[in-house]
Chains A and B, each alone.
Chain A
């Protein structure tokens, strides 16, 4: 009897459901494809068979590289046949990403960033055209691909493929290997758009056994030059802030490894290293190791011998030849071109660097910061991954240890998380505010938590044109607020500050003004920049940097 029951259960149970379903789907398109290759003009038809309603589909699209051919094709599938997809995307960037939801092709969304579509995101959520999963940081979203958001289909982009499905993703490898791995090793279907099919790959970034189908796109995948900052737009105030950061943070705490945001103020730091930094004798002592995209503004520092290594999240349009010619500094393949990896670089930026510095649109009296605007839903991207103190860190570095403020037996160091802002944004909007718009956005859009980019508890330093607040030294909330208010200028937060307390804060070392750091405000001039425009960056690069047309003015 017992034997019989066992037999029954055994025959009923299948452990290959995903595998069987995949085989059935691939079988259904075998007459439409040529081996692994989907003919370009058949992509919509094939997608309608390979993808099924309700599938979890991970679609490659981040703030730089987009699987634009596949996203456009998915938006052309018949929503009567293929509907209710659950999309997983690091970035909602292209119009058709949200068109999928308007058409009913997709229903639910888990994502990390939606800056370029933030108004439509907010409207569609309000209109209930879109069911919100969660809003993540990049690392969290990648993590969930291996836990509870395992994809049935991955739609990704590569530069080149051979007929065995081996891929060359080159400088813009970015998140492709992560997305492919999650689908390929869970019997999902991996479809790759390529710019070119060739027998001669420069190198293999992703092996063909991870790939199911290749399709040659009608045009190269979309790629945005997002990390190029023209030094022409850097202001004297940003140069003053950069001097304070180099002196009052990098030098003071012996910062050796770091990540920069993409603002003009951090571009100014990069361009001051070979001039101001050099004059302080800091070369070889600070800023040696970076997790950073190949910022063109870092070229003068690299050329002057400041930089030992850079690991990149992604590539940057125009930097390909320069990077290939500086392979001691960048991670490159045998072919010489950059190998980026968004997942690993985010992880490195989270755990392995001393410092993160970035900007923000709003900071409250406790140091919480947010980049949201009311009526817009933009998400997080990667900044919170880098902009926090990871509790799991155990290795020490001089800067990390330098953040210790007590001698208790279990004391440990901290990551340096620096916020650099001017007290007012353009349009006369104060950056320091009594309450973050993020709280209104949470209520308006019924989010689980207020979309705070960097929490005040993680911030160690705030820098404005007035000075630096050394928040890591404050031992209670009252002091912390005073230190922030002391550098908040004539914003609502700054106006509440009693100027008499400022002297005390300076004496205690909780606040430093430029003069406390030996910086004369009048020295903060554009003439300090190692390159004052894109043309000079090209000169520094020996002509290897090839800026996109929109940055060429000569």
Chain B
């Protein structure tokens, strides 16, 4: 039975998340190293106040994901595949050995800052549930206005999507999707229009920053955000990390590829259980766990047992 680790992205954060990590030497080392790279105590980043900044959120998520991964590694649990959602992809890349953690912290900090300053007002994201991407896209096509653009952002499930763009356009699309049968369609409390072409300038700067960083071939296959392919070339992974900020995250397809590759045990790294709930719904016959809900001990016990099969 194959095992995949999933690393959550923005939306999974909660105050104090770094205090909820598995107790282990490996975890402490990762957090110390984050503090060193940032020149600031990592625990300053997970307070309710600090988490209002997307930069702090992204740094906290990266640190939590990598710390938990290292805790599993120190117990001898190594996944067959890794995948991360949005900023979670950086955690996955560190887990796969493509990026060094210290470098990843610096890059993610840049990513957060670029995203924060890209669109100070008037832009954001919405969520549409109960409608597939082809139908949402046709509604977007009918209402598209160059002045106030809107795009499909993340495809989290067959009928679970987010859209990004100008707030006024998002609201129009939300009304239309509701009128055409969407189960839920509402604005998210997010001020950056992530994962659409409005962030191309951010992607370009991020690519430049990533050029300065040493990358290594992955020791664990990595499922990409942009095209939902398993990537084994470090340059492809670097490109995925840079461009995912301006491209839709094909999360449902990425996790489906893992399933088709034989993964029947998914474990979500902390914080939260957003990705494990998506996986449980998409793959009813797979075993799906999260460190947040099942606890580190149960997760590593089951991972070890299933690997023996």
| A375 x B253 contact (CB < 8 A) | yes
Q: Is A374 an interface residue (CB 8 A)?
A: yes
15 A-B residue pairings within 8 Å (CB atoms): A94-B262, A95-B261, A95-B262, A118-B260, A120-B261, A123-B229, A123-B257, A127-B229, A374-B134, A375-B253, A427-B158, A427-B159, A428-B181, A429-B132, A440-B134
Q: Is A116 an interface residue (CB 8 A)?
A: yes
Chain A residues with CB under 8 A of B130: 427-428
Q: Given A427-B130, A428-B130, A428-B181, do A119 and B159 touch, yes or no (CB 8 Å)?
A: no
Chain A residues with CB under 8 A of B134: 374, 440
Closest Cβ neighbor of A427 among chain B residues? B159
Closest Cβ neighbor of A550 among chain B residues? B285
| B181 x A119 contact (CB < 8 A) | no
Closest Cβ neighbor of B131 among chain A residues? A428
Task: Give the distance to chain A from B279, nearest Cβ to Cβ, in Å.
Answer: 15
Task: Give the distance to chain B from A546, nearest Cβ to Cβ, in Å.
Answer: 20
Chain A residues with CB under 8 A of B171: none
Give A429 to B158 CA distance when docked, in angstroms. Answer: 11
Q: Is A402 an interface residue (CB 8 A)?
A: no
Q: Is A195 an interface residue (CB 8 A)?
A: no
Interface residues in A99-144 (C-beta closer than 8 Å to B): 116-120, 123, 127
Contact of A119 among B183, B253, B262 (CB under 8 A): B253
Give A119 to B158 CA distance when docked, in angstroms. Answer: 13
Give per-residue flags for A365-404: 1 if the beta carbon is below 8 A from chain B beta carbons, else 0.
0000000001100000000000000000000000000000
Chain A residues with CB under 8 A of B261: 95, 120
Main secondary structure of the interface of B (DSSP, over half): loop
Task: Give the distance to chain B from A319, nearest Cβ to Cβ, in Å.
Answer: 21
* Contacts from B to A (Cβ < 8 Å): 130, 132, 134, 158-159, 181, 183, 228-229, 253, 256-257, 260-262
Chain B residues with CB under 8 A of A95: 260-262
| A116 x B159 contact (CB < 8 A) | no
Give A123 to B223 CA distance when docked, in angstroms. Answer: 13
Task: Give the distance to chain A from B39, nearest Cβ to Cβ, in Å.
Answer: 43
Contact of B260 among A117, A127, A429 (CB under 8 A): A117
* Contacts from A to B (Cβ < 8 Å): 94-95, 98, 116-120, 123, 127, 374-375, 427-429, 440
Give A224 to B60 CA distance when docked, in angstroms. Answer: 43
Give A427 to B157 CA distance when docked, in angstroms. Answer: 12
Task: Give the distance to chain A from B220, nearest Cβ to Cβ, in Å.
Answer: 16
| B159 x A120 contact (CB < 8 A) | no
14 extra interchain contacts, Cβ-Cβ under 8 A, other than A120-B257, A428-B130, A429-B132?
A95-B260, A95-B261, A116-B260, A117-B260, A118-B260, A119-B228, A119-B253, A119-B256, A119-B257, A119-B260, A127-B229, A427-B130, A428-B181, A428-B183
Chain A residues with CB under 8 A of B159: 427
Give A95 to B1 CA distance when docked, in angstroms. Answer: 12
| A120 x B158 contact (CB < 8 A) | no
Which 9 A-B residue pairs are closest in the complex by CB-CB distance?
Answer: A95-B262, A95-B261, A119-B256, A120-B260, A117-B260, A427-B159, A119-B260, A119-B257, A119-B253
Give A94 to B132 CA distance when docked, in angstroms. Answer: 28
| A123 x B181 contact (CB < 8 A) | no
Give A40 to B110 CA distance when docked, in angstroms. Answer: 54
Task: Give the distance to chain A from B11, nearest Cβ to Cβ, in Å.
Answer: 22
Give A275 to B92 CA distance when docked, in angstroms. Answer: 56
Closest Cβ neighbor of A374 among chain B residues? B134
Give A118 to B229 CA distance when docked, in angstroms. Answer: 14
Task: Give the distance to chain A from B212, nearest Cβ to Cβ, in Å.
Answer: 30
Give A420 to B172 CA distance when docked, in angstroms. Answer: 38
Give A118 to B134 CA distance when docked, in angstroms. Answer: 18
Give A98 to B229 CA distance when docked, in angstroms. Answer: 13
Task: Give the distance to chain B from A77, nearest Cβ to Cβ, in Å.
Answer: 19
Closest Cβ neighbor of A123 among chain B residues? B229
Task: Give the distance to chain A from B41, nearest Cβ to Cβ, in Å.
Answer: 43
Task: Give the distance to chain B from A549, nearest Cβ to Cβ, in Å.
Answer: 13
Closest Cβ neighbor of A99 among chain B residues? B261
Closest Cβ neighbor of B285 among chain A residues? A550
Chain B residues with CB under 8 A of A120: 257, 260-261
Task: Give the distance to chain A from B17, nearest Cβ to Cβ, in Å.
Answer: 32
Chain B residues with CB under 8 A of A374: 134
Give A440 to B135 CA distance when docked, in angstroms. Answer: 13
Give A357 to B28 CA distance when docked, in angstroms. Answer: 61
Give A117 to B262 CA distance when docked, in angstroms. Answer: 10
